Structure 1
Amino acid sequence: MKAKHKLLLLLLVTVQFSFAQTITLQQVQEKAKEQYPLTKQRDLIRKSKELTIENLRKGFLPQLSLSGQATYQSEVTTVKIPFPGVNIEPLSKDQYKLVADVNQMIYDGGLLKQQTAVQHMNAEVEEQKIEVELYKLAERINQVYLSILFIDEQLKQTELVKKDLETGLKKVEAQVNGGVAFKSNINLLKAELLKIDQRMIELQSTRTGLLDVLSLFTGEAYTAATQFEKPVVKTVVNDASVSRPEINLFQKQQQLLGVQNNLIKARNLPKTSFFFQGGYGRPGLNFLENKFATYYVTGVRFNWAFGGLYTAKKERELIGLNQQIIAVQQDVFLLNTNTQLKQQQAEIDKINQLISKDNEIIELRVKVKEAANAQLENGVITANDYLREVNAEDQARQNLLLHQLQLLQAQINYQTIKGK
């Protein structure tokens, strides 16, 4: 019956492992971007742009206005020269006028086109700012993801140490039963096994906390069975290109200033429109008839306001200064970025050397532990001596795990800084 229970338990564990969810860093990054609240701002920016452009385009629709007035004046024009057979009635002192005015823009100097271009570029700049913020989010996700990987490796290493201690415990128990060792050696190893259990509890608790953080960012539920795939970083040699979203932001800001410069020119060009004016009042267009009448006036208007020319030059100078400021900001950003790349490359080279030494140390520590294992079995050394060698090998492997994680993090940071 015990054998059947063990077989059933092994089968359940195997089935659970086969259905365990495997997650990649890229999947987590994509989910985090989708769930990040700032992403929703993209749609708001686009809707705002569309509404503003729609309103601007209505400037080419016929513009209708209605006005009216009723006046009383103390004196009116009269014709006192007598004409035989002609009686010119004087105008009334109370006069009335109701006018409907229709204006249709024909040529606006390209103002609508440039205003629309400004709105498009404004929206692109705001959207690119979101991309910059999302890039910062990616760095935070990298830190959490790599911390989970490090804990997973520590758990594996802790399991190996536990097996070594359990093996040593069995040998010491055999020696105690044979009367060649003290029972205190058993208690020593049992106490160390309890410390290993504490260590695993701490690691699992930390891992659970990191999973909760990752769930908040992605909106996905991760469990203890969730497996995280170790990312493979492709190192590109002699590639000095930087493709960060900040570079695109600087470029779009420069383009926006260029469009604003065109807008200044369009604002100061002449405008032409067609108009139609219809009215009803007393008197009409014929001032010699003192009666209510309908009338209309139509034609083409030409307008050229010169007031904007006084400030146009200074406005262009301001735009030029802003373009220089953005260019300086871009140069500073590239300088800082290249400095960070140099530092990360130096860090990568250093860690690679440390890992090489870690492997040599582990190889020696394994030989020492195996010798101690044999000595413990033969009663040459105590459990405390054996425990010291087990811990020394464990420490060497922990150092290797730490350096491997640091190398992976440095490689990812290098690619992140470059914008890859």
Structure 2
Amino acid sequence: MKQFLLFFLIFGLSTAKGQITIDGCQEKAKANYPLIKQYDLIAKSSEYTISNANKAYLPQVSVTGIGGYIFAGLPEFSSPGSSSGDPNKAQFIGIAQVNQIIWDGGATRTQKEIAKSTAEVEKSSVDVSLYSIRERVNQLFFGVLLIDEQNKHLDILNEELKLGLKKVRLSKENGLAYSSDVDEVKAEMLNLEQKKIEFNYTRKGYVQMLSYLIGEKLDENVRLEKPMVSESVNNLNNNRPEMNLYSYQLKLIESRSGFNEVSLMPKVGLIGAGVLIQPGLSFGQSKFNGLALAGLNVSWNTEGLYKSKNNKDLEKIEMEKITNQQDVFLFNNKLQLTQANSDIEKQKAIIAKDDEIIKLKVNIKKSKQLMYDNGICSMSDLLSSMNKENEAIGNQALHNVQLLMSIYNYKTISGN
């Protein structure tokens, strides 16, 4: 029992691993596309920008040193009865200043919000670019499935022709058929081989391109799993990544508008300053060597008052531009969805007639076979009826795959 369970587990894992699904291919293609690296770069860039914004509340220190030679000194002061010495022409002045922001009017908070919104916009832009890969995967995946269906029915027809060839050869040996009948069957079999060669080379190219997209080596004879999807697409919401992009672009403008409010606010901080003069300045009995002071610093730039209304109008215009872009996208997307839904309905209507067509073609072939066996019709007529029967059966399978492709195309256009 343990050996059986182990075998079942290994077989199940190997089978699951061997399944190539369209959803799996789309995820692998997205992960393999070089643009995917942008996500990490955007995250790191946003992290550094926010970190820099947080440093605005750290003390800001500035130090200035001035050294030189005084050609014309400052006036000297001396008390009565005291003598003035020779002034020192070499002079050094050092100035140090420390600023500590207490409140910056919300500038730091706004910068962090802008950094976050900018990162969301950039990530959404990458999402939009990566989404186009889904269409490429769909085309290649369903292209392989369509070829597989064609090959499957060519194989069935080829087996039927082999049986027919045996019967015709036997009839020829008994004097009931012509050698030209044998040649016609052989020629038809060669035509099938040509079609299979063409299909197989096309399939090989599709598989190679799919392998390159997903970054995984696929055998040229790999079998793809036919997707199981619901035929009802009318209740799907629009989940295209473009919708997130427009939303984050509007949010970014709202974040930037915070600077308009910040410009109207005063800035409050602490200030400390020190001045060192070496040698000092003599004022008679006293000598000035240095100065230190500290206090509260309040600044208010009125420039924002003059630009506030224009800035708000500009922000409103920018938001209207983005809203207009969103409306244009939704309009075009609605047209695409209407066309895709029309394709789905068309495929359903075509499929509804396939069973009846196949039934009639089967009856015609049986009739032609009976007529040929009785020497009433030619081998060409019989082969033609066989081809048309196979074509009808192949078309039914082809239409089923095309319906799946149309449904998946609708889901891709709607972002589902």
Q: With the length of structure 1 as denominator, give the TM-score of the two structures.
A: 0.88
Are 2:396 and 1:400 aligned? yes
* Whole-angstrom CA distance in 2 between matches of 1:203 and 1:186: 26
Do the aligned residues in 2 keep the contact of 1:285 with 1:295 (CA within 8 Å)? Answer: no
Provide the residue aligned with 2:166 in structure 1.
Answer: 170
SS of corresponding position for 1:228: coil
* Whole-angstrom CA distance in 1 between matches of 2:44 and 2:17: 42
RMSD over aligned Cα atoms: 2.5
SS of corresponding position for 1:227: coil
**1:248-287 map, 5 Å:** 248-282=244-278
Structure 1 residues 174 and 19: alpha-carbon distance in aligned structure 2, compared to 1, 3 A threshold: farther
Structure 1 residues 413 and 184: alpha-carbon distance in aligned structure 2, compared to 1, 3 A threshold: same
Question: What displacement does 1:114 show?
Answer: 0.4
Structure 1 residues 331 and 90: alpha-carbon distance in aligned structure 2, compared to 1, 3 A threshold: farther
Provide the residue aligned with 2:152 in structure 1.
Answer: 156
Question: What displacement does 1:284 show?
Answer: 5.8
**1:2-401 map, 5 Å:** 21-71=18-68, 72=70, 74=72, 76-79=74-77, 95-236=91-232, 238-239=234-235, 241-282=237-278, 293-401=289-397
* Whole-angstrom CA distance in 1 between matches of 2:119 and 2:297: 35
* Whole-angstrom CA distance in 2 between matches of 1:295 and 1:308: 35
Per-residue CA distance 1:98-155 (angstroms, 9 max, x = gap): 1222222111111011001101100100100111111111111111111010001011
Per-residue CA distance 1:242-286 (angstroms, 9 max, x = gap): 121111111100000000001221133211121222332146699
SS of corresponding position for 1:169: helix
Structure 1 residues 238 and 290: alpha-carbon distance in aligned structure 2, compared to 1, 3 A threshold: same
* Whole-angstrom CA distance in 2 between matches of 1:64 and 1:99: 11
Structure 1 residues 70 and 393: alpha-carbon distance in aligned structure 2, compared to 1, 3 A threshold: same
Structure 1 residues 19 and 92: alpha-carbon distance in aligned structure 2, compared to 1, 3 A threshold: closer
Question: What displacement does 1:92 show?
Answer: 5.9
Q: Give the letter for the 2:189 counterpart.
A: L
Question: What displacement does 1:79 show?
Answer: 4.4
SS of corresponding position for 1:225: coil
Do the aligned residues in 1 keep the contact of 2:77 with 2:283 (CA within 8 Å)? Answer: no
Structure 1 residues 157 and 240: alpha-carbon distance in aligned structure 2, compared to 1, 3 A threshold: closer
Structure 1 residues 190 and 240: alpha-carbon distance in aligned structure 2, compared to 1, 3 A threshold: closer
* Whole-angstrom CA distance in 1 between matches of 2:51 and 2:303: 28
Percent identity (aligned) = 37
Structure 1 residues 302 and 87: alpha-carbon distance in aligned structure 2, compared to 1, 3 A threshold: farther
Question: What displacement does 1:44 show?
Answer: 1.0
Q: With the length of structure 2 as denominator, give the TM-score of the two structures.
A: 0.89
Do the aligned residues in 1 keep the contact of 2:63 with 2:95 (CA within 8 Å)? Answer: yes
Question: What displacement does 1:374 show?
Answer: 3.5
Do the aligned residues in 2 keep the contact of 1:78 with 1:90 (CA within 8 Å)? Answer: no
Deviates more, 1:44-53 or 1:212-221: 44-53
SS of corresponding position for 2:298: strand
SS of corresponding position for 1:224: coil
Question: What displacement does 1:296 show?
Answer: 2.0
* Whole-angstrom CA distance in 2 between matches of 1:376 and 1:286: 134
SS of corresponding position for 2:303: coil
* Whole-angstrom CA distance in 2 between matches of 1:94 and 1:417: 80
Do the aligned residues in 1 keep the contact of 2:145 with 2:224 (CA within 8 Å)? Answer: yes
Question: What displacement does 1:304 show?
Answer: 1.1
Deviates more, 1:97-106 or 1:158-167: 97-106
* Whole-angstrom CA distance in 2 between matches of 1:378 and 1:64: 110
* Whole-angstrom CA distance in 2 between matches of 1:382 and 1:203: 30
Q: Give the letter for the 1:317 counterpart.
A: D
Per-residue CA distance 1:31-78 (angstroms, 9 max, x = gap): 000000111111111111112222222222111211011352635244
Segments of structure 2 that go 5 or more residues without pairing to the other structure are 1-13
Structure 1 residues 392 and 89: alpha-carbon distance in aligned structure 2, compared to 1, 3 A threshold: same
Do the aligned residues in 2 keep the contact of 1:97 with 1:281 (CA within 8 Å)? Answer: yes
Structure 1 residues 258 and 88: alpha-carbon distance in aligned structure 2, compared to 1, 3 A threshold: farther
Structure 1 residues 20 and 263: alpha-carbon distance in aligned structure 2, compared to 1, 3 A threshold: closer
Structure 1 residues 362 and 265: alpha-carbon distance in aligned structure 2, compared to 1, 3 A threshold: same
Pairs aligned (count):
402
